Chains A and B, each alone.
Chain A
Amino acid sequence: MEALMAVCIGVLTACGVYLMLRARTFPVVMGLMLLGYAVNLFLFAMGRLATEAPAVIGRAESHADPLPQALVLTAIVIGFAMTAYVVILVIRARKTLNHDYVDDRVNERAHGAPEKSQGTRS
């Protein structure tokens, strides 16, 4: 079970990091979310993996560590707030810059002026 969890955390982290290195904004947002999942799972795993032991007094024999759970609960909500904010920034950036690249200057240098309107569904 621990190995499965570790692999999941690793895959989520790797996928998140890869997407965060992309040049356009939406994949970066998705990468941030994936990394967020990975971090939450990682924090959660710091309380070890317990089966059928919720931290509710009187409902189970033993109790999983409630502290990482409380921290992760906070992290999930804050992660939502952050994702929402970043997404709005992405929309604002596309409106202002007329493109959806992470880098404004660099892309202008490398690819000439950014296209006025990016391609639609193909």
Chain B
Amino acid sequence: MNSLLIVLLPLCGACLPRLAQGLGRAWCARITVLPVLVALALLLQAAPDVLGGEGLRFSVPWLTQLGMALAFRLDGLSWLFALLILGIGVLVILYAHYYLEKNDPGGRFYTLLLLFMGAMLGLVLADNLLLMVLFWELTSISSFLLIGYSFQDSGARKGARMALAVTGAGGLALLAGVLLLGQIVGSYALDDVLAAGDQIRAHSLYPLVLVLVLLGAFTKSAQFPFHFWLPHAMSAPTPVSAYLHSATMVKAGVFLLARLYPALSGTELWGLLVTGAGLATLVLGAVTALFRHDLKGLLAFSTISHLGLVTLLFGLNTPMATVAALFHIVNHATFKASLFMAAGIIDHETGTRDMRLLGGLRRYLPHTALLATVAAGAMAGVPLLNGFLSKEMFFAETVQARVFGTWHLLVPILATVAGSFSIAYSLRFIRDVFFRSTPGWLQDKAPHEPARYMRVPVEILVILCLAVGMIPMFMVGALLATAAAATLNTEAPAFSLVLWHGFDTALKMSLLALVAGVVIYHYRKTLWRWHARLPLQDARHVFEGALQALGRAGEAVATGVVNGSLQRYMLVLLLAVVALPVWALWGWPHWTGVSGLTPADPVTAVGAFILCAAAIGTVVSHHYRLAALVQLSAVGLMVALAFARFSAPDLALTQISVEIVTVVFLMLALYFLPQYAGNRSSRARLLRDGGIAAVVGGGAAALAWAVMTRPLDSISGFFIDQAVPGGGGTNVVNVILVDFRGFDTLGEISVLVIAALGIYALLDGLRIDAPGRPRGELINPHPMIMTVVSRPMLPIALAVALYIFLRGHNLPGGGFIAGLITAVALILQFVGNGVNWTQERLGVRYHPVLAGGLLIALATGAGSWLFGYPFLTSSHTHFHVPGIGEIELATAMLFDLGVYLVVVSSTLLIIGKLGSISAVPKTTEASH
């Protein structure tokens, strides 16, 4: 439980600073530190258990199907990291209180800081790989926000973006690696994964897993070649740098190496990749640090170099190297955090961090000068300080390194080179800032020591440096042993941390590095001149340039493919429709099935001929639109006849009434469109389209043929058997529509309603002139004979519709067809008498009817709930009506009524609306 609380306290506490902001800066900082202190107390309370080798576990099932769990463990390794995170966290909060501008209330800063702290704690305490990745991503995001804290500054924004891009990309790689790990092991629980080291290393996917996980670790820990983001993240406020870039965020990568050490390490590949990256980073960081004139820039590259050192140690594949790596993680966190804070104090008091402008500060900031000198000494590896011990261990390990085979001397030699450069830049940090003569501008400014408590965090850290440096076994011996045991997942190797090992190789390397470092520092100006001539490019420009190039390339692809031409999209779609089946069915021999054919009769053949001729005629005459439309309606009629011919009376009735409505509608539409459109397509284009059309048509015909010549295996037997007992109707198609598949029909009439309302909205208020014809040109729009004939048709048609509706459940008919017949009858009145004339007499507004129809259908369906049945269960009963006889009434009939109302009202709404904008308005008529 405590381990959960340790993570949750900062995460949940993140809302406190913002709330406490109104109480003033001091209270804001005090309240912020509260959850951190509680978490730290819990952590220390757990110390006896952890150091005793027990550790704490907490686990709650969460998203178990994904292999996830809300599981935390507090073993030696995570305890060590949690101590760094919380301990340095408290100091950074205290420091930030004095560092932040007086007019910055700090709420946002502390919120982000706590959020990051919680994410970091979750990462190191996670007992499940997926949970760990989750917190890993959280650290990327919260550090992005922290680095970009001064979002008004473009440098901060760009630095934050770069950090997020690099670490985020690494996070994706890590996720992929972890998923693969989980696949190999069969579990994401850390215990299972760590125990399955041999299985993982023997797996064929091991190299891929390793590379992916290392990508995550190297991007986070700024290892070469992903180191470039870290210096640019220095645009963060200094407390953030002190926290993220010394103790926490950049340590996440090396933490990952430590955490997965038992699962992934021990192979040649691990040694080559990890040691190689670490060595390159170590040297590159140390050398570059000397050429930075910005204090934080120097510290950033020094951090990169030290992270490389830790990584290198993990790569050596020996238990002792692991102990050294863990030791150096602790030491680096303490001295680098204090150095960042000192750099912040200098910046705060003098207004600059440029070492070329600074000098002689010991006269003004004697206290800070002392602290920074000791910390820089630790960074350089001066005896009696903690940095010395881990550096000696490091040198001793490099001598024994064998990962590069015959090139094994490369490691100690390059390590000594890096060591000498680290002495040179540490020397520069001390001498250029605090000693030398004071420049004139600084004398005028006369900086003074910062507030008392701003130095306290630095003092604590420096005292730790000294204490660990002098009495190492007492300070960290037990902690390191437990952490190493947890890292290695076995017994920790026996080790002793003492100041004097004898005059061994490591000490000789240290001395050599010291001498070389002093020499390098002496000739630094020559080196700077040489460095200035190098054709190096600022990583930010390269990165931004690459991002912009990526954006341009994406845009080029997008505009190349998505060029706005609907015709081209259609072409691509159709080509895909052609290509995929052709690819899949090429050479398929079974186009003709086994079942016998039905004989063709002459009448049907003639019908088919008319259908094909009308369709082709439509295509041929499509420039003459009215003629094409007439032929299109012939196609529709022939399709209706085809339905009738092949035993589908319901379909035939529906098709023929829909056809009438559609043709009337298209006629109306044609009024607003050019009647003739000349041929503008090139011959090649016509051939190409014709070819595509022929292939698609041929394919459709072949598929239809292939299916029709095979025996039928249908589920329809159920519907035919159950239509009467289950649905109470003998017309199976109608029973399916209103009962068995009533939900489909409900969806369908909803579509109709939506289409009608959409059309109404599109046409509402539209004023449109027909091309080439002024409004009101039509003379005698309603011929007398039409008017006379149409009026008596209405009651007859309505009677037919009623008849069709009532018999629908048992004989061909139903709500759809009745609705369409009613609509056709009313449309005839529109045509014969004019839209306005008819609508005035009809006196019905379509919208309420439309809604009412849908509601009736819904209510019928919902009604079955009242009786405890599922939605749309129908029931039916028999009525005896005197004079008419037995009538079967089903609730499905009520549903059909809803369908009827929707079909009538939506059809009339559509046609009426289009008709009313084409009709000559009365006012216009009068003015003519």
Contact assessment for A56 and B730 in the assembled complex, using a CB-CB cutoff below 8 Å: yes
Residue numbers in B under 8 Å from A95 (CB-CB): 672, 766, 768
Q: Mark B589-623, 1 if CB is under 8 A from A, else 0.
A: 00000000111100011001001100110110010
Contact assessment for A12 and B635 in the assembled complex, using a CB-CB cutoff below 8 Å: yes
Q: Mark A26-70, 1 if CB is under 8 A from B, else 0.
A: 110110011001101110111111111111111110011111011
Q: Which residues of chain A (65-83) have a CB below 8 Å from chain B?
A: 65-67, 69-70, 72-74, 76-83
Contact assessment for A66 and B696 in the assembled complex, using a CB-CB cutoff below 8 Å: no
Residue numbers in B under 8 Å from A30 (CB-CB): 618, 622, 628-629, 632
Residue numbers in B under 8 Å from A79 (CB-CB): 658
Contact assessment for B766 and A3 in the assembled complex, using a CB-CB cutoff below 8 Å: no
CA distance A63 to B816 in the complex (A): 22
Contact assessment for B567 and A23 in the assembled complex, using a CB-CB cutoff below 8 Å: yes
Q: Contact check: which of B693, B704, B715, B748 meets A5 at CB < 8 Å?
A: B704
Residue numbers in B under 8 Å from A49 (CB-CB): 598, 646, 708
Contact assessment for B636 and A37 in the assembled complex, using a CB-CB cutoff below 8 Å: yes
Residue numbers in B under 8 Å from A113 (CB-CB): none
Contact assessment for B658 and A76 in the assembled complex, using a CB-CB cutoff below 8 Å: yes
Contact assessment for A2 and B705 in the assembled complex, using a CB-CB cutoff below 8 Å: yes
Does A11 touch B at the CB level, under 8 Å? yes
A30 to chain B, nearest CB (A): 5
Q: Mark A70-104, 1 if CB is under 8 A from B, else 0.
A: 10111011111111110111111011000010111
A45 to chain B, nearest CB (A): 5
CA distance A49 to B596 in the complex (A): 12
CA distance A52 to B604 in the complex (A): 14
Residue numbers in A under 8 Å from B649 (CB-CB): 54, 56
CA distance A88 to B565 in the complex (A): 20
Residue numbers in B under 8 Å from A70 (CB-CB): 733, 736-737, 741
Q: Mark B711-742, 1 if CB is under 8 A from A, else 0.
A: 01011100110011000001111001100010
Contact assessment for A91 and B768 in the assembled complex, using a CB-CB cutoff below 8 Å: yes
CA distance A104 to B689 in the complex (A): 20
A114 to chain B, nearest CB (A): 11
What is the chain B residue whose CB lies nearest that of A67?
B716
Does B914 touch A at the CB level, under 8 Å? yes
For chain B, which range describes its interface: under 10, 10 to 19, 20 to 34, or 35 or more residues?
35 or more
Residue numbers in B under 8 Å from A38 (CB-CB): 700
Residue numbers in B under 8 Å from A25 (CB-CB): 673
Residue numbers in A under 8 Å from B665 (CB-CB): 83-84, 87
Contact assessment for A42 and B704 in the assembled complex, using a CB-CB cutoff below 8 Å: yes
With A8-B611, A85-B755, A95-B766 already in contact, the answer to whether A73 and B700 are too (CB < 8 A) is no
Contact assessment for B700 and A94 in the assembled complex, using a CB-CB cutoff below 8 Å: no
CA distance A106 to B523 in the complex (A): 67
Q: Mark B553-586, 1 if CB is under 8 A from A, else 0.
A: 0000000000111111011001000000000000
B622 to chain A, nearest CB (A): 5
Contact assessment for A17 and B697 in the assembled complex, using a CB-CB cutoff below 8 Å: yes
Contact assessment for A51 and B654 in the assembled complex, using a CB-CB cutoff below 8 Å: no
CA distance A106 to B241 in the complex (A): 54
Residue numbers in B under 8 Å from A13 (CB-CB): 693, 696-697, 700-701
Contact assessment for B716 and A42 in the assembled complex, using a CB-CB cutoff below 8 Å: no
Which stretch in B28-36, B39-47, B417-425, B677-685 binds the other chain? B677-685
With A88-B914, A119-B674 already in contact, the answer to whether A3 and B697 are too (CB < 8 A) is no
Q: Contact check: which of B629, B712, B772 meets A65 at CB < 8 Å?
A: B712
Residue numbers in A under 8 Å from B145 (CB-CB): none
Residue numbers in B under 8 Å from A120 (CB-CB): 674-676, 771-773
Contact assessment for A82 and B651 in the assembled complex, using a CB-CB cutoff below 8 Å: no
Contact assessment for A56 and B574 in the assembled complex, using a CB-CB cutoff below 8 Å: no
Contact assessment for A1 and B598 in the assembled complex, using a CB-CB cutoff below 8 Å: yes
Which stretch in B431-439, B537-545, B756-764 binds the other chain? B756-764
CA distance A33 to B619 in the complex (A): 12
A-B interface contact total, Cβ < 8 Å: 325
What is the chain A residue whose CB lies nearest that of B738?
A70
Contact assessment for B629 and A121 in the assembled complex, using a CB-CB cutoff below 8 Å: no
Residue numbers in B under 8 Å from A55 (CB-CB): 647-648, 720, 731-733
Contact assessment for B766 and A92 in the assembled complex, using a CB-CB cutoff below 8 Å: yes
Q: Contact check: which of B693, B730, B733, B751 meets A58 at CB < 8 Å?
A: B730
Q: Contact check: which of A48, A81, A106 meets B567 at CB < 8 Å?
A: A106
Residue numbers in A under 8 Å from B55 (CB-CB): none
With A6-B701, A27-B622 already in contact, the answer to whether A69 and B648 are too (CB < 8 A) is yes
B672 to chain A, nearest CB (A): 5
CA distance A12 to B618 in the complex (A): 10
Contact assessment for B812 and A33 in the assembled complex, using a CB-CB cutoff below 8 Å: no
Residue numbers in B under 8 Å from A21 (CB-CB): 567, 570-571, 574, 689, 692-693
Contact assessment for A10 and B697 in the assembled complex, using a CB-CB cutoff below 8 Å: yes
Contact assessment for A78 and B666 in the assembled complex, using a CB-CB cutoff below 8 Å: no
Does B59 touch A at the CB level, under 8 Å? no
With A37-B635, A51-B646 already in contact, the answer to whether A6 and B704 are too (CB < 8 A) is yes
Contact assessment for A74 and B737 in the assembled complex, using a CB-CB cutoff below 8 Å: yes
Contact assessment for A64 and B768 in the assembled complex, using a CB-CB cutoff below 8 Å: no
B690 to chain A, nearest CB (A): 6
Does B312 touch A at the CB level, under 8 Å? no
Q: Which residues of chain B (633-669) have a CB below 8 Å from chain A?
A: 635-636, 639, 642-643, 645-651, 654-655, 658, 661-662, 665-666, 669
Residue numbers in A under 8 Å from B619 (CB-CB): 15, 18-19
Contact assessment for A88 and B763 in the assembled complex, using a CB-CB cutoff below 8 Å: yes
Contact assessment for B662 and A33 in the assembled complex, using a CB-CB cutoff below 8 Å: yes
Does B752 touch A at the CB level, under 8 Å? yes
CA distance A77 to B708 in the complex (A): 25
Contact assessment for B712 and A48 in the assembled complex, using a CB-CB cutoff below 8 Å: yes
Residue numbers in B under 8 Å from A3 (CB-CB): 597, 600, 705
CA distance A45 to B615 in the complex (A): 19
Residue numbers in B under 8 Å from A67 (CB-CB): 714-716, 719, 736
Contact assessment for B707 and A15 in the assembled complex, using a CB-CB cutoff below 8 Å: no
A97 to chain B, nearest CB (A): 12
Q: Contact check: which of B571, B604, B724 meets A4 at CB < 8 Å?
A: B604
Contact assessment for B676 and A119 in the assembled complex, using a CB-CB cutoff below 8 Å: yes
Contact assessment for A92 and B751 in the assembled complex, using a CB-CB cutoff below 8 Å: no
Contact assessment for B676 and A54 in the assembled complex, using a CB-CB cutoff below 8 Å: no
Contact assessment for A33 and B632 in the assembled complex, using a CB-CB cutoff below 8 Å: yes
Residue numbers in A under 8 Å from B574 (CB-CB): 17, 20-21
Q: Contact check: which of A5, A57, A81 meets B730 at CB < 8 Å?
A: A57
CA distance A11 to B690 in the complex (A): 12
CA distance A70 to B625 in the complex (A): 33
A74 to chain B, nearest CB (A): 5
CA distance A57 to B733 in the complex (A): 10
Residue numbers in A under 8 Å from B715 (CB-CB): 67
Contact assessment for B565 and A1 in the assembled complex, using a CB-CB cutoff below 8 Å: no
Residue numbers in A under 8 Å from B12 (CB-CB): none
Contact assessment for A83 and B694 in the assembled complex, using a CB-CB cutoff below 8 Å: no
What is the chain B residue whose CB lies nearest that of A70?
B736
CA distance A40 to B646 in the complex (A): 13
Chain A residues within CB distance 8 Å of chain B? 1-15, 17-27, 29-30, 33-34, 37-38, 40-42, 44-60, 63-67, 69-70, 72-74, 76-85, 87-92, 94-95, 100, 102-106, 111, 117-122
Chain B residues within CB distance 8 Å of chain A? 563-568, 570-571, 574, 597-600, 604-605, 608, 611-612, 615-616, 618-619, 622, 625, 628-629, 632, 635-636, 639, 642-643, 645-651, 654-655, 658, 661-662, 665-666, 669-670, 672-678, 680-681, 689-690, 692-694, 696-698, 700-705, 707-709, 712, 714-716, 719-720, 723-724, 730-733, 736-737, 741, 744-745, 748, 751-752, 755-756, 758-759, 762-763, 766, 768, 771-773, 810-812, 816, 903, 906, 910, 914
Can you list 17 residue pairs at the A/B interface with Cβ under 8 Å?
A10-B697, A14-B694, A21-B693, A26-B625, A30-B622, A30-B628, A34-B635, A37-B635, A48-B708, A48-B712, A50-B646, A56-B730, A63-B716, A72-B651, A73-B654, A76-B651, A88-B914
Q: A74-B744, A104-B564, A111-B680 are in contact. List 12 more A-B contacts (CB 8 A).
A: A2-B597, A10-B701, A18-B692, A66-B736, A72-B648, A77-B748, A81-B756, A91-B672, A100-B677, A117-B771, A118-B677, A121-B675
> Which 7 A-B residue pairs are closest in the complex by CB-CB distance?
A14-B697, A10-B701, A18-B693, A120-B772, A118-B674, A81-B755, A57-B730
